[in-house]
Amino acid sequence: MEPMPTEGEIQRWMLDTLKHSFRVEYFMKRLFVGNNHAERPHDIAGKGNKYEWDVIKGLALQYRNDESLTPYINASMEIHRQQRHHRLCNEPDPNDDLMTQPEANEDDMFESTVDSICSLLEDRTYQGGAHSYDEIKVEDFPPHKQPYVKIFLPRMRSLKQPDLEAITSLESFPNAGMAKEFYQTAVRNTNEALSRLRAEGVIS
């Protein structure tokens, strides 16, 4: 039988996802990145977003630290990776490991790089836990991303960091630094996701 996350795991996953979206959007706003992208706010809009049940049901299992769950987690991750910032940016040009994919424009790589750095700042077990800026090394990134990390890592470090501790509930949360239009979309998408999950009986 396919394992299912508990309600607590679902709530935790969605809250972590929301905080990550705020973190990425906070930096994108201040670094003028991703202005032409349709899948905004980051990770919680568009096909394969992290509020979709097929993504939640696998990725919310990661808190158990159970290796037998890896296939289910990976299956959900693959669904999420159809989002543009993963699909075009995770892998290099098939013909040259130092180059980005031909379909990826510079702004795609900017967003993907900010996303990658933000994920390392967060407490993710599969990445060895939360990293400080000092612990994030350019050489640890794939070669095709390293030029972008060299640009954005010091810029992100120099900025005031977002106050994500203010986000404690999915039901009501302050704007911790998103552009107003994306904050409004985040509220709407979160409420719609909660309503959908309640209707499906996976949360109360």
Write the DSSP assignment of 117-173 as a string of letters: HHHHHS--GGGTS---GGG--GGGS-TTTHHHHHHHHHHHHHSPPP-GGG---SSS-
Each residue's pLDDT tens digit, 30-44: 999 987 788 999 999
Q: Where are the chain's structural domains?
A: 7-199
pLDDT category of residue 127 using cuts at 50, 70 and 90: confident
Backbone angles phi, psi at 42, to 5 degrees: -50, 130
Backbone angles phi, psi at 98, to 5 degrees: -90, -10
Query: What rounded mean pLDDT belongs to the chain?
Result: 96
- Residue percentage of the chain with pLDDT more than 90: 93
Higher pLDDT, 24 or 35: 24
pTM to 2 decimal places? 0.96
